[in-house]
Amino acid sequence: MQAGYVALCYHYVRSSTEDPEFPGLLGTTLDAFDEQLRKLADVFEVVSPGRATTYSVEGKLSGPDRVGLLITFDDGLQDHYRVAERLAERGIKAWFFIPTCILTENLPANPIIVHYCLSKYRIDGFLGFYREALEAAGLDDSGLGVSFTRGVDDPWATIGRIKELFRYRLDRPTARSVLLHIYEHSILRDHPDALGRMHLTREQIEGMIGMGHAIGSHSCTHISVGATALGPEEVEEEILGPRRFLEQTFDQPIRAMSYPFGGPRDCLSGESLRRMTDAYDLAFTVEERMNTRSRSPLELGRVMPYSTDTSAGLGDKLLKIVAQDGQGAR
Ligand SMILES: [Zn+2]
């Protein structure tokens, strides 16, 4: 493939009317996803996880002269099973990154709790459950409180503050226990089948592997790896354990991880990851870069499509990245 490949990172792929109990989860609609792939396949050569691995790790170029396009999905979402089927029908192999708590603990990943709770109970409801959870944990909400007055405060700015709180301000065990308290007293109370609505099951993941797709790890509970103080326990639970669990459970070599959240603050440099472990050959961020031979396989770039992206807009964005990073990369 010429010069390298660009990668896409999808999350929710569904229509907003699909699960009326949980409206408004932002993502790409299935129709938009199909159209994006159709249009992008005219310009790029869709590459499998196996080919991307060979290219990134061994630097081997193979196949025709177009720039490669790798398709990836984060968060082990229930939506991904149907997407995997559609891709398989078209002969496309994709990479699915799984937060392993959905299987080891039978519990959802942290941000998915936030998304679903906001979707159903809105900001006011979420903050009510949040205050109860702080109280139950014996935590004083001064400094940890988020206030919101409907009609006065900007909802999107408030949602941003809620996400930042769980991603960066609360420590790992506190964020997890507060979110699980919220989950158990809201979503799970109202929907005993919540986990299956949110995430993939083990059987589904087995089926997806059977279709030819690859899996990788996405930490256990979806922490910001870069922003967390990583002692031996955290490294084991969030970095090494998930890889071993996936490898043993699905009898697959697991060579790749994708960093939860994936921004500069959330990832490690390739060197830092290598000092910590040699368990992974590839690590994906969401830095908008092309993956050329000169790029560290532990700092791979991906582009996250927005729910508002048209296929033309997304194609232009990828071509700009190729123009910027692909020069002389062959
Ligand atoms: Zn994620």
- Residue-wise DSSP of 169-203: IS-HHHHHHHHHHHHHHTHHHH-TTHHHHHB--HH
| Span from the CA of 305 to the centroid of ligand 1 (angstroms) | 14
Protein residues with C-beta less than 5 angstroms from the ion ligand 1:
74-75, 260
Does residue 27 have a pLDDT over 90?
Answer: no
Same domain (yes/no): 52, 144: no
Mean pLDDT of the 222-235 span: 94
| Span from the CA of 226 to the centroid of ligand 1 (angstroms) | 14
Same domain (yes/no): 211, 64: yes
**Domain C-terminal end among 194, 229, 264:** 194
Q: How confident is the model at residue 207 (pLDDT cuts 50, 70, 90)?
A: very high
* Residue 150 lies inside a defined structural domain of this protein: yes
Same domain (yes/no): 318, 215: yes
- CATH number of the domain at 302, please: 3.20.20.370
Give strand pairing partners of 96: 73, 215
| Span from the CA of 101 to the centroid of ligand 1 (angstroms) | 13
Token pair for 47: 């590459």
Centre a 10 Å sphere on the Cβ of residue 150 and count the other Cβ atoms it contains: 10
Same domain (yes/no): 188, 224: no
- Kindly report the backbone phi and psi dihedral angles of residue 140, in degrees, each rounded to the nearest multiple of 5, phi listed first: -80, 130
Does residue 249 have a pLDDT over 60?
Answer: yes
Q: How confident is the model at residue 180 (pLDDT cuts 50, 70, 90)?
A: very high
Please state the pTM of the whole predicted model.
0.95
Interior CA angle at 306 toward 301 and 307, to 5°? 150
**Domain C-terminal end among 194, 212, 247:** 194
Same domain (yes/no): 73, 10: yes
Same domain (yes/no): 76, 167: no
* Residue 259 lies inside a defined structural domain of this protein: yes
| Span from the CA of 183 to the centroid of ligand 1 (angstroms) | 18
> Residue 181 sits in which domain range?
110-194
Q: CA torsion, points 123, 125, 126, 127, in degrees to nearest 10?
A: 80
Q: Please give the pLDDT value at position 330.
A: 45
Alpha carbon distance 117, 194 (integer Å): 11
Same domain (yes/no): 152, 213: no
Q: How confident is the model at residue 147 (pLDDT cuts 50, 70, 90)?
A: confident
For 281-291, the pLDDT digits (tens) are 999 999 999 99
Same domain (yes/no): 67, 124: no
* Residue 144 lies inside a defined structural domain of this protein: yes
| Span from the CA of 77 to the centroid of ligand 1 (angstroms) | 10
Same domain (yes/no): 96, 126: no
When the pLDDT of each residue in the chain is averaged and rounded to a whole number, the result is 93
Nearby residues of 159 by Cβ (< 8 Å), 6 or more positions away: 118, 123
Q: How confident is the model at residue 62 (pLDDT cuts 50, 70, 90)?
A: low
| Span from the CA of 223 to the centroid of ligand 1 (angstroms) | 9
Does residue 112 have a pLDDT over 70?
Answer: yes
| Span from the CA of 74 to the centroid of ligand 1 (angstroms) | 5
Alpha carbon distance 229, 2 (integer Å): 39
| Span from the CA of 50 to the centroid of ligand 1 (angstroms) | 22
Question: The tokens 């405060």 sit on which residue?
Answer: 153
Does residue 65 have a pLDDT over 80?
Answer: no
| Span from the CA of 277 to the centroid of ligand 1 (angstroms) | 21
Q: Please give the pLDDT value at position 21.
A: 85
Q: Please give the pLDDT value at position 1.
A: 56
Same domain (yes/no): 143, 84: no
Helix or strand holding residue 317 (H, E): helix 311-325
| Span from the CA of 121 to the centroid of ligand 1 (angstroms) | 22
Handedness of CA 30, 35, 40, 46 (dihedral sign): positive
Alpha carbon distance 175, 131 (integer Å): 13
Q: Is 9 helix (H, G, I), strand (E, B) or coil?
A: strand
For 98-109, the pLDDT digits (tens) are 999 999 999 999
Task: Note whether 297 and 4 are within 8 A (CB).
Answer: no
Same domain (yes/no): 237, 258: yes
| Span from the CA of 324 to the centroid of ligand 1 (angstroms) | 26
| Span from the CA of 225 to the centroid of ligand 1 (angstroms) | 11
Alpha carbon distance 278, 128 (integer Å): 43
For 124-138, the pLDDT digits (tens) are 999 999 999 999 988
For 288-328, the pLDDT digits (tens) are 999 998 899 999 999 999 988 999 999 999 999 999 998 75
The total domain count for the chain is 2
| Farthest-apart Cα atoms in the chain, separation | 61
Token pair for 140: 């004083």
Token pair for 86: 């559609």
Alpha carbon distance 118, 129 (integer Å): 11
* Residue 330 lies inside a defined structural domain of this protein: no
Token pair for 93: 């192999």
- Kindly report the backbone phi and psi dihedral angles of residue 95, in degrees, each rounded to the nearest multiple of 5, phi listed first: -115, 130
Give strand pairing partners of 216: 97
Residues found in the chain = 330
Beta strands in the chain (DSSP E): 5-10, 45-46, 68-74, 95-98, 214-217, 256-258, 282-284
**Domain C-terminal end among 165, 194, 223:** 194
Q: Tell the burial category of 20 from Cβ atoms under 10 Å away from its Cβ (0-12, 13-18, 19+).
A: exposed
